[in-house]
Chain A
Amino acid sequence: MLQKKICMLGGFAVGKTSLVRRFVQSIFSENYLTTVGVKIDKKSVAFPDKTVDLILWDLAGEDDIGSFRVSYVRGATGLVLVVDGTRPATLGVALTLRERCEAEFGAMPFILLFNKSDLTDRWAISDGEIDELKQRGWQVYLTSALSGEHVEEAFRQLASMVAK
């Protein structure tokens, strides 16, 4: 059995819990309920040659990076960095959290999600910025937990990366 721990990282209210709910249960709620501590979900991703069980650690978002408990990430084999595409400052939060994890546990595969792509009139990230991140060889997706756009695709990509 292939079982992999994955941590959801990002600022508060970027949609980490909603992305997990969309991916695991295929549902979305408009109500915002902040996560305190951590909640764990599991979802199997099937490939032709194997099945990977992703253990998704939905960590509390941070507005103060200093209070982030990096110990939750122990044992993780991959990261989902989540950015709110309507709040540019959350990109910096996600990247800083990744640095903290790598400093503690070493480099590990990750995907970078610009979430809330359905909010086109409030979108605040330029295509140029996204292209530049892609050119670093990063796996970058524009996702919407509301519509489900690119959510499945992104998690599958991460599953294939951590299963190698």
Chain B
Amino acid sequence: MARLPKEVRSWIYDFFSNERFAAYLKIDARQCIEAKGGNLEHYGLTSLGTGEPVAGQLEIMEGLLPCPELPFHMPMMELPGGRVADLHFFGDDGSVWLVFLDATAERDHQQRLQQKAYEMTLLQERERQLNAKLQATNEALRESQEGLSREYRRAESLLLNILPASIAERLKADEQIADNHAEVSVLFADIVSFTERARSVGAVTTLAILNYFFKAADLLSEQHGCEKIKTIGDCVMVVAGLPTARSDHAQALAHYALELREAARRERFAGEPLSLRIGIHSGPIVAGVIGKRRFVYDLWGDTVNLAARIQRAAEPDEIRISDGTHKLLGPNFACEPLEETELRGTGRVRMWRLLA
């Protein structure tokens, strides 16, 4: 490289000396300060003592010497006083020169740029993390929603087992359910001498009897569009004309009664067929759901009470119906009149025997 003219050399000297606050230390082979000079004040280093070990006075020098690779450059070191210096080391016959050039402005500028870049990178990393978290949360949410709707379907099917579908719907809509029904028919049926029989055949057969009877009652309810309301011991209560009104409720329940009796006769338990006592009455009732956590759909009214009493008055294998029900049945059913009988709480009642 061509030697620079005196003017340029002089400008470079002035530039580094004045603009970049050049300062120097000369460190001897014993790692003591041999000489110092330049703008040391700028770096707050005027108190360094010559002839003493450098590392004890200038902490940055700890471990750095002897330095096998000279010249050596350590950029942008923030000194205890707050100034930032580029440190240049170069060797000279066993001694090391250490030159300080101010880099505060350059460091600050680079720091601003770097800060922006890192903040941007951090934000992007955070965004990725949050997105991943969001995705995981969404996934978990979807799974719990699926679980919830499985639970809901299960609860719904349980509800449908104990309540008529239209009532269950209204219940889910938080409706209070208490309805007057002007015309329905109510049936009670139980097994003749059930208690005695249960005692003689044992628990397993007793359960089989009840299971058979109630299953038949359920199945026929579906077939005839009736509703099984409840079972009380060995007695079943069934209604027609509910929850949707129908004009042929008496006929439907009469068919139901005939087939239920038939079903009971068909099956034998411990050699004996089942014999039923069945009673039917027609009239107005009130229907509703009671209970808060365990729902019960039930019917109330004189019609219900009378139907129960008629049933209790019936002979084994007899389907006994009230006069009111008989009037509704019309000509398609064979019935024979019974003598007027005194029923508890109602006085003398005219009843019929349904034959076919």
Contact = CB atoms under 8 A, between A and B. Distances in A.
Interface of A: 1, 3-5, 12-13, 32-40, 42, 55, 60-61, 63, 69, 71-72, 74-77, 86-87, 122, 124
B107 interface: yes
Top 6 A-B residue pairs of the complex, sorted by shortest distance between their CB atoms: A75-B63, A37-B76, A39-B78, A5-B63, A36-B111, A5-B62
B105 interface: no
Contacts of A5: 62-63
Secondary structure at the A interface, as helix, strand, loop or mixed, is: loop
Given A1-B56, A40-B59, A71-B72, A122 B114 contact: no
Given A37-B76, A37-B84, A38-B77, A13 B118 contact: yes
Contact of A77 (B63, B75, B107): B63
Given A5-B63, A74-B67, A13 B122 contact: yes
Given A3-B59, A5-B63, A33-B111, 13 more contacts: A3-B62, A32-B118, A33-B115, A34-B118, A36-B107, A37-B75, A39-B78, A40-B60, A40-B77, A40-B80, A63-B118, A74-B64, A77-B63
A32 B119 contact: yes
A124 B72 CA distance: 40
13 contacts: A1-B56, A3-B55, A34-B115, A36-B110, A40-B79, A55-B60, A63-B118, A71-B72, A72-B74, A74-B67, A75-B63, A76-B63, A122-B129
- Most chain B CB within 10 A, of A32, A37, A60, A69, is at A37
B74 A12 contact: no
A69 B63 CA distance: 17
A75 B62 contact: yes
B125 interface: yes
Query: Which of B62, B84, B118, B119 has the most C-beta atoms of chain A within 10 angstroms of its own C-beta?
Result: B62
Given A1-B56, A63-B121, A87-B125, A36 B64 contact: no
A122 B115 CA distance: 23
Contacts of B73: 71
Nearest to B122: A13
B309 to A, nearest CB: 70
Contacts of B129: 86, 122, 124
Contacts of A37: 75-78, 84, 103, 107
Contacts of A38: 74, 76-78
Contact of A34 (B59, B62, B84, B111): B111
A40 B122 contact: no
Contacts of A40: 59-60, 77-80
A36 B56 CA distance: 26
Contacts of A122: 129
A42 B59 contact: yes
A34 B78 contact: no
A33 B74 CA distance: 21
Nearest to B63: A75
A39 B111 CA distance: 13
Nearest to B125: A87
Nearest to B130: A122
Contacts of A77: 63
Contacts of B56: 1, 3
A36 B114 contact: yes
B72 to A, nearest CB: 7
A63 B116 CA distance: 13
Contact of B62 (A4, A35, A61, A69): A4
Contacts of A124: 129
A65 to B, nearest CB: 14
A87 B128 CA distance: 11
A71 B62 CA distance: 14
B76 A34 contact: no
Interface string B45-64: 00000000001100110111
B17 to A, nearest CB: 22
Contacts of B72: 71
